[in-house]
Structure formats: structure tokens, C-alpha cells
């Protein structure tokens, strides 16, 4: 015992670490009470980041950074390496947790007006951390080196290539050359394990320094607007009369929530396992339908849905506007009321953004814009027992001519076009004929692709698709 105490005294006298950390841990923060639970997301993000560091380093001990071996090495990690599947799962759900927590933390800071004077730079450094976190997601995805991964990056590079002036250079920089190759993988690997985490580390340190220097914000109250002239005096007074030491009065919440985050990540990894590896990469398969990880899926959905002609515009304009708004925010609105109760616009913006992103992610999962090439062909029984030969031929044509890829009948088929199960309930056979011959915005015209007989057979089949309602114009 004596030896340990002596060693500690020796260490402390040479480093002063306890004298340094003590006051930092016990520095006074405003009392937050139950509302304090809203203030745990920043530290939880840090916890998730540290977990990513640990699991990432573990993965890097076995992952092979080369085009030939990346995919097999991940297969090895997933199927054979001790704890490999768990660690890969934790790294995956850790990434999700970190992204979600960054988002929740930002929303909290925005809604409670915590970014206002004097914490503008806290916000700006947070915006940098958001970009870096997304960069980690983007670069990490490629390291899987499966079909999805490489195509998502090709699409990303192609989008970056449209930036005015620096587009060529940027596309080149992302791919580390003109096309996807081993150099691309090396580049993404070094970005993902050296540069971006290093930058995150530096910016997080700065962010934390600012949190200490400016203090955490108070729980916002109505009728207590931020006035830069009086804020500092007011805040200092508040700490004196209604403050509490960070450790342990406030820190215990961060610890409880941080532990819950770790448990959740481990539980998800155990229950759901790591994400399945897609097919091995094969750049010659062009009918691949790349789908990025969920944190980019909403953006991908927007791009897939806008008309091709304005795509370029949206690819660039959209991130530019979001970035600009995030950067300008603390400059244009750093004073005044902080409580969301008095800032209906702030609440509305958050609601619209969250709902829009949520819907776009769900839509992106379903990919309604992609014809479903693997739909099971309609059975001959779809038109009821004993269909006439021409109806039978119509069913076969419906399968063969690709109608099925875009149209559902009785729950079977793609969803790019409308469900045709009861098409005769609202269209006359003449209207259907015109549609098939001339096509539409997202439907090919079949005028030259069907013989007169084939058209009649197809129509004979569709004629049977009546629901309970009376067809319009054919009483």
C-alpha cells in the first residue's frame, strides 16, 4: 500500500495531473435538473467515437488493404476470426450510433438555442465534426469493397465531378485516378484510418476546450433572451447561485447514458450481426443497383427522383445550401430568445427536416424508381380458372415485355408504375391501349415493340383486371 501511495506522490509531484484534472472535473456548471438528460448527447457522441476507434483498430489488425484481398479478409473476419463478427457488427452499429447521436446533439443544440452567443464557435466546430463524421461513413463504406460499396463511391465521385471549376480535380482526388482501382482503396483506407480520425481528434479537443471555456448553456427559459452585452455577467452570477460541480452532480448522467450507448451497440451487434457483405465487386456488372449506407440514402433518393436534367443542379445546390445555412446560422441568429416555445420556426425547420430525411430513407430502401427485374412471373392462374388462349398469351406477354418489372398485379411485380390489378376499374380499354402504345414519362412506348396481335392479347388480359367499381365510361 505504502509503495503505491509513494509512487503516486512521486508521479503527481512530477506531473501535477491530479491538480490539473481536479478543478476541471469539479468546475461549476449550471443546474439542469431533469432537463439535464437533454445534455448528454455530446458526450455520448464522444463515447461512440472512442468505441469506433477501438473496434476500428481491431478490424485494421486483420483487414487487408488491397483490391484482391480486402473482400476475402472481411469474409475471414466475419466467419472465422475470434470475435470478428462481433467487432465488425459493433463497428457498423457504432457508426450508425455516432451519426444518429451527432444529429440528435445538433438538433438539441439548435432547438435550445445553445449555439447562441457566446457559443458560436462551438457550433461552427460542431459543423466541421458533422462533415468529418459523414466523411468517415463515406470512406468506411468503400473499405467493404463489395458491389454496393464500390458503386456508391463511383456514383459519389461522379457527383463530385460536377462541381464547377474544381470538379475534375475533386473527382480525380476521390478516386485517386481516373477510375476506381487499388489506388482508390489505398486512398480511402488512409483517409478513413489516419486523416479523418486525426482531424476529428483535433477538432473534438477544440470543441471540448470551448465547452469548458464558455461553459455549457443553461436550460432555456421564456423571457430570458440572450444579450451579448450582459450575458457573461449574468452567466457568472448564475453559476455562483444556481451552479453545481460537473463531477459528480452532472457527469453521472453522461456516464449512465454513455454506458447505455455502449450496451446498445454491443446488443445490436450480437442480435443482428454485422451487415451482410454484398456480392464481390465486379466492375463489369453494370446492372448493379448501388445503394449507399443509410446515412446517405436520403440524398441518393432525392437524386434518383429528380428528373435527370436537373440532377446536376441538385447534386451541387443541395449540399451547398445546407452547408451555407449551418455556417451562417450562428451569425444571423445569435441573440434573443432561446426556448423552442418562442421559436416556432426553429421547431418547424427541425420537424420538416427530420420527417423529410426519414421518408427519403424509407423510400430509398424500397427504391420504387428501379424496375424490379427479378419479379416472379405472373402465373397463368392470375386471370382465374380456364383463361382463354388469348388471355393466356396476354399474361405471358405481360411477363416477357417487362410490364411486370414496373407494374404490380395482385401483389406481384415492381412499383415503378401504378398497380394494374384493377386497372379496368378506372380506365377504358381504349385508354389502356393508348398508354401502352405511347408510353409516358417513365414508361417506354410499346408502339413499335408489339404486333397488332400481341397488343390485342395483352389488352384481353388487362380487360380481365376489373375491381368492384364500375369501369369509367363503359356502363
What residue ranges bind ligand HEC (CB under 6 A)?
371, 401-403, 405-407, 416-418, 420, 423, 427, 432, 435-436, 440-444, 446, 458
Cβ atoms of 174 and 157 within 8 Å: the answer is yes
Task: Kindly state the smallest distance separating residue 159's Cβ from ligand HEC, in Å.
Answer: 24
Measured from the CB of residue 250, what is the shortest distance to ligand HEC in angstroms?
Answer: 56
Q: In Å, how far are 48, 58, 194, 223, 268 from 54, measured between CA atoms?
A: 10, 6, 14, 45, 17
Give the sign of the dihedral formed by CA 292, CA 189, CA 168, CA 181.
Answer: negative
Question: Which of residues 244 and 422 has its CB atom nearest to ligand HEC in the complex?
Answer: 422
Nearer to ligand HEC, 183 or 289 (CB): 289
139 and 192 in contact (C-beta within 8 Å)? yes
Q: Give whichever of 442 and 470 is closer to ligand HEC, judged by the CB atom.
A: 442
Residue 449 exposed, middle or buried by CB count within 10 Å (0-12, 13-18, 19+)? middle
- Of 64, 213, 34, 200, nearest to 143 by C-alpha is 64
| Residue 73 and residue 65 in contact, taking contact as beta carbons nearer than 8 Å | no
Q: Which residues contact residue 42 at a Cβ distance below 8 angstroms, ignoring those fewer than 6 apart?
A: 105, 211
Give 66 or 400: the residue with its C-beta nearer to ligand HEC. Answer: 400
Whose Cβ is closer to ligand HEC: residue 26's or residue 416's?
416
Least distance from ligand HEC to the Cβ atom of residue 457, Å: 11
Q: How far is the CB of 462 from ligand HEC (least distance, A)?
A: 6
Q: Give dist(CA 119, CA 115) in Å, integer.
A: 5
Which cell numbers in the block locate residue 45? 457522441
Q: Which is nearer to ligand HEC, 98 or 458 (CB)?
A: 458
- Residue 190 grid cell: 488512409
**Which CB atom, from 26 or from 401, has the smaller least distance to ligand HEC?**
401
CB of 411 to ligand HEC, least distance (A): 16
C-alpha to C-alpha distance for 8 and 6, rounded to whole angstroms: 5
Taking CA atoms, 71 is separated from 78, 279, 313, in Å, by 11, 9, 35
User: Shortest Cβ distance from residue 165 to ligand HEC (Å)?
Assistant: 37
Set of cell numbers at residue 253: 448522467
- Nearest approach, Cβ of residue 413 and ligand HEC (Å): 10
| Cell output for 8 | 503516486
Closer by beta carbon to ligand HEC, 254 or else 463:
463
* CB-CB contact of 209 with 319 (8 Å): no
Residue (182 or 439) nearer to ligand HEC, CB = 439
Nearer to ligand HEC, 46 or 458 (CB): 458
How far apart are the C-alpha atoms of 317 and 326, rounded to whole Å? Answer: 14
CB of 375 to ligand HEC, least distance (A): 11
Q: Which is nearer to ligand HEC, 118 or 402 (CB)?
A: 402
Q: How far is the CB of 286 from ligand HEC (least distance, A)?
A: 17
CA angle (82, 83, 84) in 5-degree steps: 85
The least CB distance from residue 420 to ligand HEC, in Å, is 6
Chain centroid to CA 250: 31
Q: How far apart are CA 423 and CA 427, in angstroms?
A: 6
Least Å distance, CB 458 to ligand HEC, is 6
Residue with cell 457527469: 251
Buried b (16+ CB within 10 A) or exposed e, 139-149: bbbbbbbbbbb
Amino acid at each position: 500500500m505504502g509503495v503505491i501511495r509513494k509512487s503516486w506522490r512521486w508521479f503527481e509531484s512530477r506531473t501535477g495531473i491530479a491538480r490539473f484534472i481536479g478543478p476541471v472535473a469539479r468546475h461549476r456548471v449550471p443546474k439542469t435538473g431533469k432537463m439535464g438528460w437533454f445534455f448528454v448527447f455530446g458526450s455520448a457522441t464522444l463515447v461512440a467515437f472512442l468505441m469506433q476507434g477501438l473496434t476500428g483498430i481491431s478490424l485494421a489488425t486483420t483487414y487487408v488493404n488491397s483490391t484482391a484481398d480486402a473482400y476475402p479478409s472481411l469474409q475471414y473476419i466475419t466467419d472465422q476470426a475470434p470475435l470478428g463478427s462481433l467487432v465488425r457488427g459493433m463497428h457498423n452499429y457504432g457508426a450508425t450510433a455516432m451519426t444518429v447521436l451527432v444529429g440528435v446533439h445538433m438538433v438539441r443544440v439548435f432547438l435550445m438555442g445553445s449555439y447562441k452567443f457566446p457559443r458560436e464557435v462551438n457550433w461552427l466546430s460542431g459543423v466541421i465534426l458533422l462533415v468529418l463524421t459523414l466523411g468517415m461513413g463515406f470512406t468506411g463504406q468503400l473499405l467493404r469493397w463489395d458491389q454496393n460499396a464500390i458503386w456508391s463511391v463511383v456514383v459519389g465521385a461522379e457527383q463530385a465531378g460536377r462541381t464547377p471549376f474544381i470538379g475534375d480535380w475533386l473527382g480525380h482526388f476521390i478516386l485517386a485516378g481516373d477510375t476506381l482501382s487499388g489506388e482508390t482503396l489505398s486512398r480511402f483506407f488512409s483517409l478513413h484510418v489516419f486523416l479523418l480520425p486525426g482531424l476529428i481528434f483535433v477538432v473534438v479537443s477544440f470543441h471540448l476546450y470551448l465547452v469548458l471555456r464558455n461553459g455549457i448553456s443553461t436550460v432555456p427559459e421564456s423571457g430570458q433572451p440572450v444579450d451579448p452585452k450582459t450575458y457573461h455577467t449574468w452567466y457568472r452570477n448564475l453559476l455562483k447561485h444556481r451552479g453545481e460541480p460537473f463531477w459528480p452532480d452532472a457527469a453521472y448522467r453522461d456516464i449512465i447514458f454513455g454506458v447505455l450507448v455502449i450496451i446498445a451497440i454491443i446488443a445490436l451487434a450480437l442480435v443482428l450481426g454485422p451487415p451482410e457483405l454484398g456480392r464481390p465487386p465486379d466492375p463489369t456488372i453494370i446492372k448493379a443497383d448501388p445503394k449507399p449506407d443509410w446515412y446517405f440514402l436520403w440524398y441518393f433518393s432525392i437524386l434518383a427522383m429528380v428528373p435527370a436534367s436537373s440532377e446536376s443542379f441538385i447534386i451541387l445546390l443541395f449540399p451547398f445550401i445546407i452547408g451555407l445555412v449551418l455556417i451562417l446560422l450562428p451569425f444571423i441568429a445569435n441573440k434573443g430568445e432561446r426556448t423552442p416555445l418562442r421559436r416556432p420556426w426553429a421547431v418547424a425547420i427541425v420537424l420538416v427536416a427530420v420527417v423529410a430525411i426519414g421518408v427519403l430513407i424509407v423510400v430509398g430502401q424500397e427504391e420504387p424508381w428501379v424496375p424490379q427485374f427479378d419479379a416472379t412471373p405472373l402465373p397463368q392462374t392470375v386471370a382465374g380458372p380456364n383463361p382463354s388462349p388469348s388471355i393466356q398469351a396476354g399474361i405471358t406477354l405481360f411477363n416477357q415485355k417487362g410490364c411486370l418489372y414496373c407494374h404490380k398485379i395482385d401483389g406481384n411485380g415492381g412499383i415503378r408504375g401504378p398497380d394494374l390489378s384493377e386497372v379496368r376499374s378506372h380506365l377504358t380499354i381504349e385508354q389502356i391501349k393508348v398508354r401502352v402504345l405511347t408510353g409516358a414519362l417513365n414508361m417506354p412506348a410499346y408502339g413499335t415493340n408489339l404486333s397488332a396481335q400481341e397488343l390485342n392479347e395483352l389488352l384481353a388480359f388487362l380487360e380481365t383486371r376489373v375491381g368492384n367499381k364500375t369501369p369509367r365510361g363503359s356502363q
